[in-house]
Chains A and B, each alone.
Chain A
Amino acid sequence: MKYEMVAGFETHIELATNTKIFCSCTTQFGGDPNTHCCPICIGLPGTLPKLNKQVIKYAIMAGLATNCEIANISKMDRKNYCYPDLPKAYQISQYDKPLCEHGYVQLSSGKKIRLTRIHIEEDAGKLIHKRGDTYVDYNRGGVPLIEIVSEPDIRSVEEAKEYVEKLQQIMRFIGISDCKMQEGSMRCDVNISVRPEGSDKLGTRTEIKNMNSITFIGRAMEYEFQRQVDLIESGGQVEQQTLRYDDVSNTTSSMRGKEDANDYRYFRDPDLVTISVTDEEIDELRKQIPELPFQKAERYVKEFGMNEKDAQNISKYRRIAEFFEEASDGVKTPKTVSNFIIGQIFRRLETEDDKEKFDIAITAQQLKELVKLIDEGKVKNNLAKSTLEKMLDTGKSVTEFISESDMAGMDEGTLAELCKKAVEANPKAVADYKAGKVKALKSMVGFVMKESRGKADASAAEAKILEIIS
């Protein structure tokens, strides 16, 4: 029998606010243990939380960018559980009235992964195990999070990866999180089950906790899918449980079963008042949502005639898209700009992280100067390419490498002189051409280009040579 994977995601994303969700401590990653803390975020007796308004704004922006409905009225609840990294013994979260509901993320296939909800909550601290002892660092405690819960709409590892990448792109584009999985500012719990292909029933699911890399998400899902299929094939049953994934052995193992599931005793946090957001405030935030990657890609294809793949590659990273748009603003051929970026600049940005940072030596304006010279016919393609390399090496402008006289091109007389020289120096090519080998003409044009160090216009040279030999 063939089986189908059914998966849904719970994704935690740390918001890039300056201060924590309920106090004014910094949210900066790292720092010596317990230096980004105050009486409020370590939950000293008598302290009270005060909700950071920026958190609400960012969460609403996340909701708007993923097509959610935004609740005008919502509230904060307490999720009670006891763990040393949670200093109040409850996490302030949202239970039955989340800020955002009923959204979706659209994959490149056009398929929509529905989002059940997005809610805000506080992060916990961290346990550090050292020399047989356990220490607690509360620096991360109280850092604002959004939790994005999807419906079980994902059917393959590929869809899962694309879903996570899309979320990452969207959140980075709207500027509410850096979504660095390796630093934990984006973490995924994967709910996964299997069922015979064609069935519309849901199987018993397991939950793989705290995945912090897209590659591992893929591997863990593949492993867990196969494990569940094998179990069913051999007559067993999948047990509802929480799993952890070990990336070294590439296996999942049980953290706790259904019977050990926590009863969180949710109830409304009496220390915080109702969150009310007006339609006007929501509209104001809607205006702040920039054009998103897939919208950009669509536009690049339509307006600039770029192919879809190039359009996606350019629009995927916020800084690159911005660079592209600035450099191509007012030029005749935006495609030239995208070709330079994908062809030459990408070669210098090997990793995803490099592309995200987009740390290159030249500005968009500098690239634009170069492209404009091409547009105006002042610089030929070959020269432009080599010049761009020099610019990228040094950060200097095009005028540093190409002089006014280079740009002026070549006068008729000089070109005619060079062509004559080319004909004289290549009698064999002339003979070959006359014998019908059209290609032989190219070698003479090459001679001219080389002699002129790229200054000559290749098509003009070709015409001139033809004129001489015929």
Chain B
Amino acid sequence: MESKIRHYSNMLKNREITCQELTEKYLAGIDTSNKDLNAYVTVTAEAAIEAAKKVDEKLSRGEEISQLEGIPMTLKDNISTKGIETTCCSKILEGYKPIYNATVWETLQAQGAVLLGKTNMDEFAMGSSSETSYYGGASNPHNINHVAGGSSGGVASAVGGNIAVYGLGSDTGGSIRQPASFCGIVGLKPTYGAVSRFGLIAYASSFDQIGPITTTVEDSAIVYDAISGYDKMDSTSQGRKGAPTMDTLKNDIKGMKIGIAREYLEGVRDDVRVCIEKACEVYKSLGAEIVYFNLPALKYALPVYYILACAEASSNLGRYDGIRYGYRTDAYKDVNEMICKTRSEGFGDEVKRRIMLGTYVLSAGYYDAYYKKAQNLRGSIVNAFKNAFKSCDVILAPTVPMTAFEKGNAISDPIETYLTDICTVPVNIAGLPGVSIPCGFSENGLPIGMQLIGNTFCESTILNAAWQYENAVGSEVFKASEYGVKL
């Protein structure tokens, strides 16, 4: 598959299209498609045109432009953008305009990125369908009766629906990879610490990581190389280790060991498993070796994730009290009532559920039984992966055990929905990089995704393996939806 970013960048450089024209096409695409997709919650048309004009001026002066310069893109609504509403799709942050930029946006803006707007998501990134959004869920561009997934559903819907060339999402328990899988596109969750979290509104700080959602593997590599790096504003940041992923993206993978952990395939829908098996055949044909092993620690992944993530969330979300910014209730007697009513009215059900769960597991008398135990198990899972990577270079697994849910289903049964995170959360628990790429379609035409998981800071390896697969199968599985802009 040809890199969309490179394709557009070349068109701009060759003056086949002006940046303003390109941007206007995308804005027009949003106008027509967003009604169906509900991908964008804020469109920044004016600022986008302004940014595009600057790129055109630069081009007309004959200056060089960088690869991401002038490319229309989007950011998930939990990434802070100075002066532009950033709500996490929650009523409690209605009208909140940050006074500073997230480091990733600062970086991309400096490279001339054109921001089309902010995209829909599950409220505070809590959910798997983007339907917990205060603004309603985002639709799947392959079938709008199905969800785009979550929590970065808006970014996936916009990129899959061709109303953004690429976007940045965040992944706490699968929130980049799962919607990418549902929408038939590429989603990379980098190693914890590879990309700065400064400015990303926290859900669960020790899991959250920003990453790109793109239509091709090469685009993923281009964007990842641009946004990864050490940031002194984020103490947990370490930056990218080693050379840019683009350097080795297209390398031969002969002799690469691709591991299959049997536990990942348990309880997976048949068509999904068949796709994974087919992918193994593709890899064998490319000269890779498939190795099988067990990863029994995976059975603890879901409870560990929900206990720890909710615990951190209960603390992270304590600051929304209506005092300094965002929503505040109308009538109150005193400050306590004001805070209570503001939070009761401002947060949705899923957020409240997770705050209560997290508060409970940290409470005196329950801490040891839940939080502490989960922390210990987290350590076991980290070690299990460490051992696994002694016998393989990447792990191949389904991204989600099924395809995109029908609208409304995820909301009606939250526990059942939590269980669908089974394949994505282990990567966040262990802080590993994982990329989801399309690997087939279900009978009813919905995309199926698979993920390649690497050891810490081995983005190069998983993107290399992903690119080789993409290159081998091509448009057979990397199929664009009917929506949006086509150039």
Contact = CB atoms under 8 A, between A and B. Distances in A.
A48 B233 contact: yes
A263 interface: yes
A45 B321 CA distance: 12
A45 B233 contact: no
Contacts of B236: 48, 270-273
A51 B99 CA distance: 22
Contacts of B339: 82
A328 B223 CA distance: 69
B447 to A, nearest CB: 31
Contacts of A210: none
Given A51-B235, A263-B363, A263-B364, A45 B98 contact: yes
B323 interface: yes
Contacts of A136: 323
Given A46-B202, A267-B315, A271-B236, A87 B324 contact: yes
Given A88-B318, A89-B315, A50 B235 contact: yes
A89 B200 contact: no
A49 interface: yes
Chain A contact-residue range equals 20 to 34
B319 A89 contact: yes
B298 interface: no
Nearest to B200: A46
Contacts of B79: 46
A135 to B, nearest CB: 10
Interface stretch (A7-15, A36-44, A103-111): A36-44
A49 B205 CA distance: 12
Nearest to B363: A263
Contact of B199 (A46, A49, A82): A46
A82 B318 contact: yes
Contacts of B78: 46
A117 B274 CA distance: 60
Most central of B232, B311, B314, B324 by chain A CB within 10 Å: B324
A134 interface: yes
B98 A272 contact: no
B55 to A, nearest CB: 27
A271 B319 CA distance: 15
Q: DSSP majority for the B interface?
A: loop
Nearest to A22: B235
Interface in B203-235: 204-206, 232-235
A263 B363 CA distance: 7
Interface string B168-203: 000000000000000000000000000001111110
A47 B79 CA distance: 11
A270 B205 contact: yes
B65 interface: no
Given A50-B235, A272-B235, A267 B311 contact: yes
Interface string A446-466: 000000000000000000000
B80 interface: yes
B418 interface: no
Nearest to A76: B235
Interface in B332-357: 335, 339
A317 interface: no
B286 interface: no
A1 B380 CA distance: 59
Given A49-B235, A270-B206, A271-B235, A44 B99 contact: yes
Nearest to B336: A82
A45 B96 contact: yes
Most central of B100, B235, B314 by chain A CB within 10 Å: B235
Nearest to B323: A84
A400 to B, nearest CB: 56
A271 B198 CA distance: 10
Contacts of A50: 232-233, 235
B362 A46 contact: no
B359 interface: yes
A355 to B, nearest CB: 42
B96 A271 contact: no
Contacts of A273: 235-236
Contact of A48 (B197, B311, B315): B197
A263 B362 CA distance: 9
A90 B198 CA distance: 18
Contacts of B362: 80, 265-267
A247 B15 CA distance: 79
Nearest to B232: A50
A84 B321 contact: yes
A205 interface: no
A241 to B, nearest CB: 18
26 contacts: A42-B324, A43-B319, A45-B86, A45-B88, A45-B93, A45-B319, A46-B78, A46-B200, A47-B100, A48-B197, A48-B198, A48-B234, A48-B236, A80-B362, A263-B363, A265-B314, A265-B362, A267-B315, A267-B371, A270-B204, A270-B205, A270-B206, A270-B312, A271-B205, A271-B236, A272-B236
Given A50-B233, A134-B335, 6 more contacts: A39-B99, A43-B319, A44-B324, A47-B100, A267-B367, A267-B371
Interface of A: 39, 42-51, 78, 80, 82, 84, 87-90, 134, 136, 263, 265-267, 270-273
Closest 10 CB pairs of A and B: A89-B318, A270-B206, A265-B362, A270-B205, A45-B201, A46-B199, A46-B80, A46-B201, A263-B364, A39-B100
